Amino acid sequence: MHRGIWWVRLAIPVIAAAGAALIVLALQPSARATVPEPTAPVTGNATYFDGLGAPYGGCGLPQAELETQNFVALNVFDTPGSGTFYPRPLSSADADKMGIWNNGHNCGRWVRVSIGDYCTGVNDGALGQAFCRSGAWSADAYNGGTLDMIVADSCGDSNAWCRDDKYHLDLSKDSLNRFVKNGAPMTDLYPSHWNNRHVSWQFIPAPAYSGDIKIGFLSGAQRWWPAIAVSKLPNGVHGIEYFADGAWKAATMNGDMGQSYIIGATTSGGTDFRIRVRDANDALLFNGREYAFSFPAACSSQCGQAYTQATYTTTSTSTSPSPSRSASASPSASVSVSASVSASSSASPSRSASSSPAPAGGCSAAVTTTGSWSGGGQAEVKVTNTGTAPTSAWTVKFTLPAGVTVASSWNVTLSVSGQAVTASNASYNGTVGANASTSWGLVFSGPNFAVTNISCSAR
């Protein structure tokens, strides 16, 4: 039901159909509220879903890169009785509507889950209706089965499970028959004995942790937009700090994908990086251990794979002062526009392209969707000089479809008014030779990116 740019998944009880995940990459601050966090086991309704969306789950990792295939989703919203509130990430003004997903700040954490009673009545996820109506919660031989699982996704659907029950867990379907009781796996819990269960759960440190974290670059990452994901964490991640221009700076979370951040290079526009990580307690990981790595050679100028692992070296240091939390995300980050997630769980649109006419002595612009997921995607705009002399500046204009917003952009100066987008060259790519091209990119949220009224002008 929900991919963490953003993911929106369908919580699936035994009677529901599978859904798709969605992600939204946004270069805007991801607020963290003081969401009550269980320190002892809590009880909630449990549903299941088939798996993470492609290419990412809500936390910003492909499913194949998870430490375990036993994973869960947490609720994005706490809006009992209402399923019409969808903005992500939530702003501090909407902190009272924030679910235990906490704008992705609980990504990568582990939970210990125990099977509870099953429902003998109606548990259809109807908003504002009692769970297990006309029936009762009943214990059976499966009560007490346990499994350690990782938070990898988000539940933001407009049903009672994702809205009315703050301790609801959405479990990966394939994990249901891996719960263990008295040392033996309960291999027949699903489907015959599932029946809309309660579960109890609590956060735990990563079990039997050894080694160190993993760092990978995401699809579309480049030197001016170095989007990374961190995983194999001992206790989640509440922040990434990068070293640039002689100081530590706070990286911006990639939308509410809690394990993905937009970092900066040690020198502007460079390809060498140095980071450190803060865990779920806001403490510097391993007493401030620093991780140094370079942009992967396999990516050339831009990463095409969903995940390209980085090889790093480490330096152990004493804990250093925290950086300013208002540091910018990257040298070319443009003005962000608030993005909201559509309630639709329909499949992603197919790759498409549209282009402007090529005026004599001017320029043309071609817009191509280069990646898509349920609820958003990534697009590239190619600007071609159709004249006989180099340009000194260019501007592209187009109209967004209804319901589509821009979440982030790179290699461009962008302004948005309603659905009208005006994109002008950055300081370094205004000069384009005759018959040559340059390109810029953006991440959007919404059902499609079939833009209209495309025009390009140059001087």
Q: What is the dihedral of CA 406, 412, 415, 421, to 10 degrees?
A: -60
- What six digits make up the tokens of 128? 């504002």
Q: What pLDDT is stored for residue 197 in this prediction?
A: 94
DSSP tag of 429: S
The helix (H) or strand (E) run that includes residue 163 is helix 160-163
Mean pLDDT of 39-56: 93
Three-state secondary-structure class, residue 227: strand
Tokens of 194: 């599932």
Q: How many CB atoms lie within 10 A of CB 456?
A: 25
**What's the rounded mean pLDDT across residues 270-284?**
96
Nearest to residue 152, comparing CAs of 252, 21, 273? 21
pLDDT surpassing 50 at residue 306: yes
Task: Tell me the whole-structure pTM to 2 decimals.
Answer: 0.68
Looking at residue 364, its amino acid is S
- Which of 52-61, 112-121, 220-229, 374-383 has the least mean pLDDT? 374-383
Q: Tell me what pLDDT residue 24 has.
A: 37
pLDDT tens digits, one per residue of 99-136 = 999 999 999 999 999 999 999 999 999 999 999 999 99
Q: Cα separation of 315 and 409, whole Å?
A: 33
Nearest of 14, 172, 43 to residue 116 by alpha carbon: 43
Question: Which residue ranges form the domains of the chain, and what is each CATH number?
Answer: 42-204 (no CATH), 214-315 (2.60.40.760), 353-458 (2.60.40.290)
The phi and psi torsions of 81 (rounded to 5 degrees) equal 80, -5
Please report the DSSP string for 238-280 in residue order. SEEEEEETTEEEEPEEETTEEEEEE---SSTT-SEEEEEEE-T
Q: Calculate what percentage of the chain has a pLDDT beyond 70.
A: 82
DSSP state of 77: B
